[in-house]
Structure formats: structure tokens, C-alpha cells
Amino acid sequence: MLAADGELTSAERAELAGDPATEASVHELGALVRGHLELAADEAEPRFADLWDLIERRLDVDEEPVERAAEPAGSRWAAVRSWFSGHRSHLATGLISAGAVAALAFALRPAPTEREVVRAPPAILQIDTALSASPPEVESLDVTGGSGTVFTITDEDGETAVIWVDLDDPADVTEGI
Amino acid sequence: MSKRAGLATAPAVGEPPAARVAPIAPVPAVPGDDRALVALAQQGDRGAFRSLFERYHRRAYALAFGVVRNQDDALDVVQDAFIKAHRHLDKFEGQASFYTWLYRIVMNLAIDHLRKHKRHKPVDFTDQALDESVSEDALLPKIIGGNPGRALLDKEIRGRIGEALGGLSENHRSVLVMRELEGLSYEEMATAMSCSKGTIMSRLFHARKNMQRQLADLYPGGAVDKDAGDSPEDGDAVESSTPDASS
């Protein structure tokens, strides 16, 4: 086989008695294999033109990131603008969603009248009392069904006595003190 | 050392013309042309790379087809090989020829493709330990018809050759295709397949033997024993049983 494949040195070839028949069979087998593959290449010939087109398209894809990186950076404002223009749809979706949530929250807010009733302070009774020159002082007051506090407020108009009544039962309105 | 493919043998008088088989690719008139094209392609000249493609795509296809034995798969392998070559063109230093570098890519991709898709049919022969005393006499000293080009005109013979190649293991088929199509030396094949020269010799020997066995009925007399066991797939264990160099 080495002789058939030309792997022997000239000295080895001279030394060895070759087997021409086996050598010929090896050569023939090789020729048959070569011929078979060459004919296969012939059959694929019509597709080779498309092959280059496919390769070129992939080479174009390979080179795209390199071209993008080579572009000039531009101003920061241009970058911001380009970012917005690239994300326009996302921004619009976000704004619409936020508006919808705000509208829903507004529509579902509680009725204001209930709050006014809840927030209604207990009845406050103001009585003009004899004002004294002494500073305002806080006094307690016994009230049926609750408790009261009397304190005097001094302002630019003079002094005002305020009686603050806390009722045990807010529904129980006092007739007067 | 390189055996150029091509079966343009002159027919004898009165005989039909031999099969018209175009050579795979003409050898460039000036080997330096490839280097110049590679240098231009490395600088981004797409036209130069296309010239390299035009020169070697057919040969690369034949090599790939010899291994994967399917037209679509072979075209995929060739496409991937040229893409890979282009991507790594900057690493090509020019110590070997461009095609030498390319065919290694093609072979590796073809073998990877086979392993990934497992299109290869298992060999029907049973393995047996290689007889250490095997001699060259195991290769048939017979020929089919003496004119391979004429033989290939016969579709049946061509089909049988294709089947016989398919009946080889991927390693056996690879070395046979590299040897017969590319004319590589044992040393070059050992480098390409990352194995020893002895392994290459063993694989080549058994590949040819198996081919002859599968084509036995085409030989005059059909004297090959088809029931004999097949050769082992891996030649690593048989480095010491180098086939006799008597032929």
C-alpha cells in the first residue's frame, strides 16, 4: 500500500519487489472514489451560484455590528432624542396606562358628604362671661352626658371664653348650659 | 506527492468515450495568487474572498460530500466552512496554503456534522481484532475494469461506490477521501486528523479493504469473502501492525 501511495523512499522502492497488480487495484479504487466525488460535484453545480449568495448574506450580517460601532457618537441630546424615538411605543403605552389608573382612582374616590359628617366636630358652645383681667385659664366643667372644658382665648379683639364640650354620645345634643 | 483528480483518460479505438469528468479545480498557475487574494480579503476586500470561493468551493464540496454523503448537508458544510474561514482570516498566517487551511475546516465541520446528525449508517460488519500479521495480500490484486471513467458511466457501479463509501465508518471514509481526493501524504493526514501516522495507515488500509469487500461482486470472479469480519474502527491499537510495505 505504501508503494501504491508513493510513501516509500526511492531506496525502499528499489529494495522491495512491488506487486503491480495490487498497486493497480489501489489506484483504480482511488480513481473510482475520485470520479464518484467529482460527478457529485457536477450534480451540485447549479446550486453553487446560490451558495455564494447565502455566504455573502451571512458575511453582511457578520459585518453589521462593526459598522454600527464605527458611527460617530453625536451630541447627548441627539442620543436622548434617538432613545425616545426608539422607545416611542413603550412611552405611549406607559402614559396611557398611568392615565387610566388615575381616572379609575378618581372615579372610585369616596363620596365627600360622608366625610363631612364624620368630621363634624362635637358641639361647641360659646358663652359671654365676665372677662377678668387675669390670664386665660383652663377650667373643667361638669356636663351631663359628657365633660367640658372652659378656656379663655386672648386675641386682638379682647378675650373670648370658649367652652368645649365632649359628649359621651354624640347624638345626644344638649339643650344648652 | 499530490495526485490531481481527473479521469480524462483517452479511450481506446472503438471504445465509447470515458466519462466526461471535470477536474475538481485547476491548480492556480501561481501559488502566490492565493496569498495575494488572502491578503486583500484580510483587509476587507469581499471580491478577493469571492475569488477564493470561486477557486475552491467545488473541491471543498467534493470533500464534504465524500464525508457526509448528502448534497444538502455538503452544501451546508461548505457554506459554514467559508464563513468560518472568513471570520478567522486574520489568524491565517500563510505558513500552509489557503486551501490546506480551508480543507481542514471543511473536514472538521463535516465530521462534526455527521456526529451531530448521525446520518451515517452503522457498518453491518462485525468488528474483530486486527490480525497483527495482516499483510498487503489482504488487498485484492484485482481491478474492476481498468478504466474507472468508463466504469462510472454505469449508474449502477456509481451507486455501488456511493453505498460502499457510506458503509465505511466516518474515520475510514475521511482518510480515504482525503487521500484520494486531496492526495495528502500520511503525515499530512495525521496532522489533519490529530492522530499518528500508523493510525492513518491502518485506517486507510482497512478503508480500502472494506471498499473492495463491498464491491466484491464487481470484481472478476468476485473472490472476496463477504462474511469475513470488518476491521476495527480505531487504529490506535494497531500501530505495531503496520501493513506490509511490499506493494
CATH code: domain of residue B166: 1.10.10.10
Q: Does B189 score more than 90 pLDDT?
A: no
State whether A29 and B82 contact (CB < 8 Å).
no
Quote the pLDDT of residue B196: 92
Q: What is the per-residue pLDDT for B141? A: 60
Task: Say whether pLDDT at A34 is over 50.
Answer: yes
pLDDT digits (tens, 9 = 90+) for B64-95: 999 999 999 999 999 999 999 999 998 888 77
Whole-angstrom distance, CA of residue B177 vs CA of residue B184: 10
Determine the structural domain holding residue B87 and report its residue range. 32-117
Burial of B114 by CB count in 10 Å (0-12 exposed, 13-18 middle, 19+ buried)? buried
Residue B79 lies in a domain: yes
B37 part of a folded domain: yes
Q: Are residues B153 and B80 in the same domain?
A: no
Q: Show residues of chain A in contact with B245, CB under 8 Å.
A: 1-3, 7-8, 12, 16
Q: Note whether B223 and B145 are same-domain residues.
A: yes
State whether B175 and B218 are in the same domain: yes
B41 in any annotated domain: yes
- Label residue B203 by pLDDT band (50, 70, 90): very high
Amino acid at B18: A
pLDDT in tens, B3-35: 444 443 444 444 444 444 555 554 444 446 888
pLDDT of residue B49: 94
Whether residue B9 is contained in a domain is answered as no
**Of B67, B82, B117, at which residue does a domain stop?**
B117
pLDDT tier, B208 (very low <50, low <70, confident <90, very high otherwise) = very high
Is B221 exposed, middle or buried, given 0-12, 13-18 or 19+ CB atoms closer than 10 A?
A: exposed
Determine the distance in angstroms separating the CA of B179 from the nearest CA of chain A, rounded to an integer: 8
**Tell me, what's the pLDDT at B221?**
61
Domain for residue B128, yes or no? no
How far is it, in rounded angstroms, from Cα B230 to Cα B124? 9
Query: Of the candidates B117, B144, B164, which is a domain's last residue?
Result: B117
Q: B126: distance to nearest CA of chain A, Å? A: 23
Considering the domain architecture, whether residues B175 and B215 belong to the same structural domain is answered as yes
Please give the grid coordinates belonging to residue B48. 478577493
In chain A, residues with a C-beta closer than 8 Å to the C-beta of B77 are: none
Q: Is residue B212 part of a domain?
A: yes
Q: Do A55 and B82 touch (CB under 8 A)?
A: yes
Tell me, yes or no, whether B40 lies in a domain: yes
Q: Are residues B201 and B174 in the same domain?
A: yes
Contact state of B83 with A25 under an 8 Å Cβ cutoff: no
Please indicate whether, in this complex, the C-beta atoms of A1 and B61 are within 8 angstroms of each other: no
Q: Do A28 and B144 touch, CB atoms closer than 8 A?
A: yes
Taking contacts as CB-CB distances below 8 angstroms, the residues of chain A near B63 are 37
Within 10 angstroms of residue A54's Cβ, the number of other Cβ atoms is 16
Q: Give contacts of B176 with chain A, Cβ < 8 Å.
A: 33
Does any CB of chain A come closer than 8 Å to the CB of residue B149? yes
Judge if pTM exceeds 0.80. Answer: no
Give the model's pLDDT for residue B240.
Answer: 38
A41: nearest CB among B62, B144, B185: B62
* Chain-chain contact of B245 with A56 (C-beta, under 8 angstroms): no
Rounded to the nearest angstrom, the minimum Cα separation between A74 and chain B is 26
Interface test with B, best of A23, A38, A56, A66 (most B CBs within 10 A): A38
Domain count, chain B: 2
Q: Contact B139/A25, CB-based, under 8 Å? A: yes
Q: Which of B59, B82, B117 is the last residue in one of the domains?
A: B117
Answer whether residue B129 is part of any domain.
Answer: no
Q: Is pLDDT at B47 greater than 90 in this prediction?
A: yes
Mean pLDDT of chain B, nearest integer: 74
Shared domain for B111 and B143, answered yes or no, is: no
B141 and B234 housed in the same domain = yes
Provide the 3-class DSSP secondary structure of residue A53.
Answer: helix
In chain B, which residue's Cα lies nearest the Cα of A22?
Answer: B141
CB of B189 within 8 Å of a chain A CB? The answer is no
Are B228 and B150 in the same domain?
yes
Stretch B106-110: mean pLDDT, rounded?
A: 93
- Higher-pLDDT residue of B144 and A51 is A51
Are B21 and A38 spatial neighbours (Cβ–Cβ below 8 Å)? Answer: yes
Interval A32-51 mean pLDDT: 92
Q: Which of A62-66, B113-117, B118-122 has the highest mean pLDDT?
A: B113-117
Q: Are residues B99 and B52 part of one domain? A: yes
Contact A32 B246 (CB under 8 A): no
Average pLDDT over residues B166-170: 91
CA distance A16 to chain B (A): 6
Q: How many CB pairs under 8 A join A and B?
A: 172
The pLDDT of A13-22, averaged and rounded, is 65
Q: Shortest CB distance from B143 goes to which of A12, A28, A56?
A: A28
pLDDT band at A13 (very low <50, low <70, confident <90, very high): low
